[in-house]
Amino acid sequence: MEKTHPGRPLVVRQLRKTYPGEAAPALRDVDLHVDAGEALGLLGPNGAGKTTAISIMSTLMRPDSGTVTICGIEIFKQTHRAKKHFGLVPQEIALYPSLTCHENLHFFGRLAGLKGRKLKGRIDECIDLVGLTASAGKRVATFSGGMKRRANIAAGILHKPELLFLDEPTVGIDAQSRHMILEMLARLNRQGTGMIYTTHYMEEAQALCSRVAIIDQGKIIVQGPPLELTARYPGCADLGGLFLLLTGKQLRD
Amino acid sequence: MTRLVATIFKELLLLGRDRAGLLVLFLMPAVLVIVVSLVQENILKVTGETVVRVLFVDQDRQLLGQFIETQFRQSGTIEIANEVNGRTADEKNARAAVEDGDFQFAVVIPAGATEAVEKRVKRQILSAFDPGDAAAGSNRDMPRVTLLFDPLVQGTFRASVTNALHVILLTLELEMKARAVSEIFPQQLEQTLQKAMGPQGTATIGNPLASMNPEWGRQRLLGIESRQATRGDAAKRPSSVQQNVPAWALFGMFFIVVPMGGSLIREKQEGTLLRVMSLPVSYLTILAGKVCAYVLVCCFQFTLILAVGKFVLPLLGAPELEIGSAPLAIAVVVASAALAATGYGIFLGTIARTYEQASMFGAVSVVIAAAMGGIMVPVYAMPKLMQQISQFSPLAWGLNALVNVFARNGTALSVFPQIALLLFFFAGTVLLSWFFFHHRGLTVN
């Protein structure tokens, strides 16, 4: 992969987005960045703007204003080029259930521009990485929730992206699968893959992310290393306490 | 290119694993074409092509009964039966048999009909020479042939048998009158001459008028030459198969909108479209891949239905499908119709928000377009308003083009207007889909 900006794979400036028919903006002047080999936790209650931010950063949605630069490429000016540098692991299991895990990876790999031996090698590597070697020939529909989540991640990292968007990748799975996924992501992170990780599990963010940004009502309230943030707010023993302190205890729909 | 091929391969793989989709695409039109062709072929036969069973009750057993029975048998379209359940037919059991639906028609010739008709003929001819017999033309004592018919038999079917009987009776009347004239006219002439010239006068004339040939009444003055108005080979006979095979093949092809629309919806709902759109590939490539895959499926589907018409239907007693002499024209029409169907599938998959919406609306709209387009009932048999509306159905365009090639020896040039309409429809639906896709965004929920 081309490395045009090795130091900072993601820079987001003044991102604003208001959905048609909505009065309140979904994102308000969001500024973010991810350094090489850094995992940034994007935390927020339901409807805070996490998925909107991920959608815009992964070129799926256009912002009203602001810029997103991935590996030095402004994504809405050179979308096709920018797409080669990031991977997306959406909240949904974005795989074809009636295809096998191998067939899914083969299809997405070819769309990502891989082919021949390189594609085959990457498929084998990724399947091995997510621990699905024995089940690679089975249809995704027959997989357990944890296996689906792992296959979902494999499809996102197939083309060795420098930046990975992970939108709640561990939702609805058992502790073992969660542990395995977090281990795997930590390994990828150590190998230099930058990450934006959204989750509702604070302990996951604390364990994986070197920095977190808390977003609420479309605005980044605070960002920094987890330990530094908890130290900044007296009475907050952990990230969970900090999160509730900053976003409140009122229920969100 | 590799991305396009990957998309085509993936679509074919997905479709191959969708058993319900395969049944809708391949089994449904094959069964429809067989069932409808056989049913319509039978109706065609019953309504005048070959065998109509008529119960014939001849109580006369002389010239009249024999003549009518012979004429019916010679028509080739009517099969005569003289018995009901092994018993000789009479008026009573014939009526019961028709009432029960065992026969659609029964013809009863009353006893003494020939004698009565001969008497009437003579009286009528004589009255022409002697206008004093005013009662000769009265219908009061006219012998009548009774035609009993099943009340369920309606319209042209009933009219065709009634007309056949009328023609037979008119022919018979003409022959009997000619024979009577041939007998009576020389006698009358002789009597008149005797009155005018006396016995010696007439003896000198000789006797040429007394031997007037009665066959003149049978000699035809005018004939009908019935020919099909088709280009080229006139020996090909359009049949229900010629209409039904292309019709139901097109219907099946357009039913591709159900699995295709469903596939697009599922991609949106399951998130695979999000992943695809996050990869370095244009949506146009994805759409092109889908179109190519589904056009291939449509062509395979059409070939299968064609094979059913060519090889399976003849085994079941229906005529073999004649595919005309312009395979290129067929290929172009089928490809254009397949593009129109896939374009509609893409449109449906783009505008529908749920799989249920796409499948329900897709299926219903295709059935309506098929009914409008003459798939179920030929357009010429529709009321005028429906005929005008049918011009807007893509299935009508496809069907007109295919029937033109199959039954009228049409060429690619002669069906160009329909091909152009189908391609415009494809372009229009894809452009609209493109607009809605960008207007609505990727997610459906």
What are the pLDDT digits (tens) for B209-241?
Answer: 556 777 777 777 787 776 666 655 544 555 678
In a domain, B36, yes or no: yes
Amino acid at residue number B64: L
The CATH number of whichever domain residue B86 belongs to comes to 3.40.1710
Two structure tokens written together for A62: 């256009």
In a domain, B228, yes or no: no
In a domain, B152, yes or no: yes
What is the set of domains in chain A, with CATH numbers?
1-85+208-253 (3.40.50.300)
Determine the residue of chain A that is closest to B7 in CA distance: A107
Residues B263 and B191 in one domain: no
Distance from CA of A210 to the nearest CA of B (A): 26
Residues B17 and B144 in one domain: no
Residues B298 and B422 in one domain: yes
- Please state the length of chain A: 253
Instruction: Give Cβ neighbours of residue B261 (< 8 Å, ≥ 6 apart).
Output: B345, B346, B348, B349, B352, B358, B359, B362
In a domain, B223, yes or no: no
Q: Is the minimum CB–CB distance between A115 and chain B shorter than 8 Å?
A: yes
**Within chain A, what is the greatest distance between any pair of CA atoms?**
56
Residues B300 and B426 in one domain: yes
Distances, alpha carbon A194 to alpha carbons A41, A61, A154, in Å: 11, 21, 16
Question: Looking at residue B34, what DSSP letter applies?
Answer: H
Q: Is the minimum CB–CB distance between A50 and chain B shorter than 8 Å?
A: no
Distance from CA of A138 to the nearest CA of B (A): 13
The closest CB to that of B271, out of A94, A99, A112, belongs to A94
Residues B423 and B275 in one domain: yes
Query: Is pLDDT larger for residue B185 or for residue B334?
Result: B334
In a domain, B306, yes or no: yes
Residues B36 and B61 in one domain: no
Contact B270 A95 (CB under 8 A): yes
Q: Which domain holds residue B252?
A: 2-43+239-440
Distance from CA of A231 to the nearest CA of B (A): 38
pLDDT band per the 50, 70, 90 thresholds, residue B324: confident
The pLDDT > 70 percentage for chain B reads 88
Residue among A51, A107, A163 with most chain B CBs within 10 A, to mutate: A107
Checking DSSP bridges between strand A39-43 and strand B105-109, what pairing results, if any? unpaired
In a domain, B227, yes or no: no
Contact A111 B14 (CB under 8 A): no
Q: Are B75 and B105 in contact (CB under 8 A)?
A: no
The closest CB to that of B271, out of A84, A93, A99, belongs to A93
The closest CB to that of B3, out of A83, A94, A111, belongs to A111
Query: Which pLDDT score, from 0 to 100, does residue A137 have?
Result: 94
In terms of C-beta density within 10 A (0-12 exposed, 13-18 middle, 19 or more buried), how is residue A137 classed?
Answer: exposed
Chain B residues in contact with A115 (beta carbon < 8 A): 2
The total domain count for chain B is 2
Contact A98 B17 (CB under 8 A): yes
Q: How many other β-carbons are positioned within 10 Å of the β-carbon of residue B368?
A: 12
In a domain, B217, yes or no: no
Query: Which pLDDT score, from 0 to 100, does residue A3 have?
Result: 42
Residues B255 and B396 in one domain: yes
Residues B333 and B268 in one domain: yes
Q: Is the minimum CB–CB distance between B10 and chain A shorter than 8 Å?
A: yes
Residues B244 and B388 in one domain: yes
Residues B279 and B403 in one domain: yes
Query: Which pLDDT score, from 0 to 100, does residue B234 have?
Result: 46
Checking DSSP bridges between strand A10-17 and strand A27-34, what pairing results, if any? antiparallel
What are the tens digits of pLDDT across the range B417-435?
Answer: 999 999 999 999 999 998 8
Residues B261 and B405 in one domain: yes
Coil, strand or helix at A123: helix
CA pair distance B117, B167, nearest whole angstrom: 16
Look at residue B444 and tell me whether its pLDDT is greater than 70.
no
Q: Is the minimum CB–CB distance between A99 and chain B shorter than 8 Å?
A: yes
pLDDT tens across the length of chain A (253 residues): 444 455 789 999 999 999 988 888 999 999 999 998 899 999 988 888 998 999 999 998 899 999 999 999 999 999 999 999 999 999 889 999 999 999 999 999 999 999 999 999 999 999 999 999 999 999 999 999 999 999 999 999 999 999 999 999 888 888 888 888 999 999 999 998 999 999 888 888 888 999 999 999 899 999 999 888 888 888 777 888 888 878 776 666 6
What are the tens digits of pLDDT across the range B27-61?
Answer: 888 888 888 888 776 665 555 455 677 889 999 88
Chain A residues in contact with B437 (beta carbon < 8 A): none
CA pair distance A99, B272, nearest whole angstrom: 12
Q: How far apart are the first and last CA of chain B?
A: 32
Residues B375 and B286 in one domain: yes
Buried b (16+ CB within 10 A) or exposed e, A94-124: bbbbbbbbbbbbbbbbbbbbbeeeebeebbe
Q: Is the minimum CB–CB distance between A171 and chain B shorter than 8 Å?
A: no
Backbone angles phi, psi at B253, to 5 degrees: -60, -45
In terms of C-beta density within 10 A (0-12 exposed, 13-18 middle, 19 or more buried), how is residue B58 classed?
Answer: buried
Distances, alpha carbon B266 to alpha carbons A2, A33, A172, in Å: 34, 34, 21
Chain B residues in contact with A84 (beta carbon < 8 A): 280
CA pair distance B214, B227, nearest whole angstrom: 33
Contact B280 A108 (CB under 8 A): no
Least confident of A132-141, B13-22, B271-280: B13-22
Buried b (16+ CB within 10 A) or exposed e, B199-222: eeebeeeeeeeeebeeeebeeeee
Q: Is the minimum CB–CB distance between B288 and chain A shorter than 8 Å?
A: no
Two structure tokens written together for B152: 């369920």
CA pair distance B148, B365, nearest whole angstrom: 44
In a domain, B91, yes or no: yes
Q: Is the minimum CB–CB distance between B439 and chain A shorter than 8 Å?
A: no
Instruction: Enter the pTM of the model.
Output: 0.75
